[in-house]
Structure formats: structure tokens, C-alpha cells
Amino acid sequence: MHQLHPIAALATAPGIGAIAVIRVSGEGAIALTDKAFRGKRLVGQPGHTAHFGTFRHADRGNEPGSVIDEVLVTVFRSPHSFTKEDVVEISCHGSEYIVRQILTRLTELGAQLARPGEFTQRAFLNGQFDLVQAEAVADVIAADSAASHRAALSQLRGGFSKRLKDLRQQLIDFVALVELELDFGEEDVEFAKRDQLRRLMTNIQGVIRPLIESFAAGNVIKNGVPTVIIGKPNAGKSTLLNALLNEEKAIVSDIPGTTRDVIEDELFIDGVRFRLIDTAGLRDTTDTIEAIGVARTRQQIEKAALVVYLFDGQSTTPEELREMIAELDESGKPYILVGNKADLITLHQQAAVTDAITKAGGRPDGIHEVPPILWISAKNAQIDELKSTLSAQVRTNGAMQTGSAVVTNARHLQHLTATDEALARAVAAVDAGTSADWIAMDLRIALRELGELTGEVTTDDLLESIFSRFCIGK
């Protein structure tokens, strides 16, 4: 196993905590740590063992070095470690002062301070995992919802990249054959069976196209579902937002039209992240300031992946509701109809509203079902049903189901799309009976793009840009 010079960094979050872990990796990491450690001799210890002792400053003449801290040292032996190098993890008390002292002592002994992502980069270079998985390490750390954690973890475990690597290998064999044909110039030879090549290419497309399509959903998992709450002024949007966020974020007032600013906030329901966008009321209006709000609301619907239409159950007419339903239908966005102020009206009245829009045949074409109305009281925070409907809306989306591979990384999307385009051109070329050199050109592009995706083809620039985004110590 290739081992580089020893590097050291704090692996846990900086700041004060019960314990902090400092990681040392590289050639001689164990012997180096041993020089500052009093307890058992570390160099003789097998991997995956932990040892209690003291970590010390340098000896002064005959005086043994003073104690920096009591520590627990875990030894990992190459290749059975995260980086596949010799690794030592020093658990000390979680004080910034102690951490600094230990790191200083380690550098005196020859370790270098690690750059951001350098541990993961070494793990990648030593074949611990491919590039997609290496990037997933960063995502697993950054994941702050159950869903994004699940997506990152599935990529870390190999996700889609192993399958793509196998297919790429098969493609390499074909490219070799096609290029061999080129060597024969004018002679009419065909080493690469066109039908087999075509089948392989469409196979690969069959794998990457769902991945490309998963990006929208994957992005939602990682960055949250952009959700907009719309409704007329005074419908109770700010109150609902507050109830959802459980804190006073938006201005609540009795004066219609006062919530003009767009407020964005985040909310977790059943491990799904929602990005809530509160807007001014959506209605036809001549008021210019309000009109800006309305135009903006339409833009918000455009940007949103999910729309909550909130109406005042007391004062909204069936006509208004039908107009709104028509507009929402037209937008093509999934939406939830929510009647507010349920505390002020009877169940009977609630049923009458539902009846009115259903009977009036809100749908002249009769094709769509009228979506059910959900009744809430934003003021009394009776919103549990709305919350579960929100999370159900997202969960019915295929990509939220565990197990299916999801692309969450823009870099991956870019390579997948470029691969797909190159393959589409190559397939068309095969179908048109085009000469081998054209086919070979697109096949080479596809190979390079796939290779860059998984890290089989890398440039220093690419590695630099990926790993520098990691935090130090990772």
C-alpha cells in the first residue's frame, strides 16, 4: 500500500466538547505518535486496538515532557484504515487549547497539518472508494435530514457507480475494436459487431437516463422541497407559517395585504426538508404594490415544487375557489387545498364548501377529481393533518423510496448528461451506417465522461476542486 508523509488534523468539530479526536495518517504515523505517548508502546500494537495513556510535550534534558492530556489512542494498521495508510486516532478532552497543543507536538515530530479533504483524497487514491463515493463522504457529513442522509449513504456504499464502471469497461473493449477498424483505413472491415455495440450503448443509456431524471428529486432530498403557501391577504398565511415553524418569523397583521415580503424558511417533517416561501396574496388587484406581490406569487408557484393554497373558510366563495383550482391545475404543480379558520365555522359549513365546488362541477371537462379540502386552524395550531399530507405528497414521489439510486450532485449530472448525448450520437451514427471514425469519436467522449464521473479518469484540477470542498480533518 502506498503511504504518503504523515498528516494530522482535528477530525471532530472544532470548539468545546466532551472529547475531540485528532487523526494522524501516513507512513510512520504510529511511531510518530508513540514518541509523545506514555502508556504501552504503540509500535508493537496490532490494528484496531485502543490504548490509554498520556500525551506529552517534548522531554527537556532528563526531565520527561509534561503531560498535555490523558488520551485514548486507537491504532489502525495499513491497509485496514479509512485512508488505507497507518492511522492513529487520538481521543483527548474536547478543549481547543489541548487540541492545539497536541497538533503542535505532532508537527514537531514530523506530521504536517492536513489540507481540507486530504484524508478522503488519500483514501480515494488508495482505492478505498471511487470519486462518487468520496464525494458522498462529504454529503454524509453535511446531511441534515433523514432523507438526504439516506441518499448520501447509498452513494457511499457504491450506489450507481459500480454498475457504471462495469458498463464502461465493456465499452472500452468495443472502442478498442472500433479503433482497430480505423487502422485498416479504406478496407471494409468490421471488428466491432454493430448490433452488439448498439445494444451495449442503449443498455448504458438505460442505466444513466433514470439517474439523470432522478436529479430533480435528488436535489429536493438534498436541498429541500421548495413549497409555497399562497392565498388571499388575511387568509392566515403568516399565521400558518408561524405555526409550522413554531416561531414568529413573518409579520402577522389584521390589515389585508401587509405581508408583502417574501420570507423563506425551512421545516422538517418526517425527515423531509421543506423550504417554505411565504408570499403576498394571490389575487387580481389594481393596487400596484400588491400587484408586485401577486406577480411574485406567480413566480413563486413557478419555482415551487409543491403549492399550499390557503383560503379563509369563512369568507371564500365557491367561485373564488374554482378559479383558484383552475389556475393551479393550469400551473401543473402538485397542490394542497387548505381551508383555514376551521375554529370559526361548523363542520356542516365545511362540508357545504366542499359540496359547492364539487357539485358546481369545478371541472367542466369532468376529467380531474376535485382535490379534497383539508381543514385547519392555523391560529390554534391545528395543522397535524396538513403536515402529514405535506410529507405524504413527497413520499409518493418514487425517488424518496429507499433503495433507488438518486443523483444529488451537479457534477455527476453534468457527466451523465454528456455521456448520454455522446451515446445518442453514436447510436444514431451506427443506425446511419456512418464510418468508424465518427462512432469512435463519440465513444471516446462517452468513456471520458463516464470515467470522470467515477474518478477512473481524473485531472489534478478536478481532484483539487472536489477535495478542497471538504472540511479539514476529513
Q: Which residues are annotated as a binding site?
A: 234-239, 253-259, 278-281, 340-343
Strand partners, 37: 55
User: Taking the complex as a whole, how short is the minimal distance between the CB of residue 144 and ligand GDP, in angstroms?
Assistant: 28
- Give yes or no for residue 378 binding ligand GDP (CB under 6 A): yes
- One residue of 253, 317, 465, 468 binding ligand GDP per CB under 6 A: 253
Q: Compare residues 106 and 386 and give the one whose CB is closer to ligand GDP.
A: 386
Q: Rounded to an integer, what distance in angstroms lies between the CA atom of residue 160 and that of residue 327?
A: 39
Cα 464–chain centre separation: 20
Which residue in 177, 252, 345, 418 binds ligand GDP (CB under 6 A)? Answer: 252
How far apart, in Å, are the Cα atoms of 72 and each of 22, 30, 75, 112? 11, 14, 10, 21
Between 314 and 401, name the residue whose CB sits nearer to ligand GDP.
Answer: 314
Residue whose cell numbers read 380531474? 368
Question: From the centroid of its chain, how far is CA 467?
Answer: 16
By the rule CB under 6 A, 437 interacts with ligand GDP: no
- Comparing CB distances to ligand GDP, the nearer of 343 and 464 is 343
What distance in Å separates the CA atoms of residue 379 and residue 340, rounded to the nearest whole number? Answer: 9
The size of the interface with ligand GDP (CB under 6 A), counted in residues, is 19
Binding site for GTP, by residue number, is 234-239, 253-259, 278-281, 340-343
Binder to ligand GDP among 254, 330, 384, 460 (CB under 6 A)?
A: 254
The Cα–Cα gap between 174 and 440 comes to 9
CB of 253 to ligand GDP, least distance (A): 5
Residue 355, helix vs strand vs coil? helix
Nearer to ligand GDP, 126 or 340 (CB): 340
Q: Tell me which residues in 332-351 interact with ligand GDP (CB under 6 A).
A: 340-341, 343-344
Query: How far is it, in rounded angstroms, from Cα 249 to Cα 240?
Result: 11
Q: Which of 288, 254, 278, 2 is nearest to 124 (CA)?
A: 2
Sole binder of ligand GDP in the list 149, 162, 379, 387 (CB under 6 A):
379
Polymer length in residues for the chain: 474
Residue 104: closest CA among 40, 36, 17: 36
From candidates 259, 393, 408, 409, binder to ligand GDP by CB under 6 A: 259
Instruction: State the binding string over 74-103 for ligand GDP (x if CB under 6 A, else -).
Output: ------------------------------
Cell triple for residue 456? 477512473
**Nearer residue to ligand GDP within complex by CB, 215 or 375:** 375
The whole-angstrom separation of Cα 55 and Cα 67 is: 6
Min dist CB 278 to ligand GDP, Å, is 7
Q: Which is nearer to ligand GDP, 39 or 257 (CB)?
A: 257
User: CA-CA distance, 171 to 201, in Å (whole number)?
Assistant: 8
User: Which stretch in 15-23, 47-55, 246-254, 353-361 sits in contact with ligand GDP by CB under 6 A?
Assistant: 246-254
In three-state secondary structure terms, 10 is strand
Q: What gap in Å lies between CA 157 and CA 142, rounded to an integer? A: 16
Residue 377 interacts with ligand GDP (CB under 6 A)? Answer: yes
* Residue 275 touching ligand GDP (CB under 6 A): no
Which residues contact ligand GDP (rule: CB under 6 A)?
231, 233-239, 252-254, 259, 340-341, 343-344, 377-379
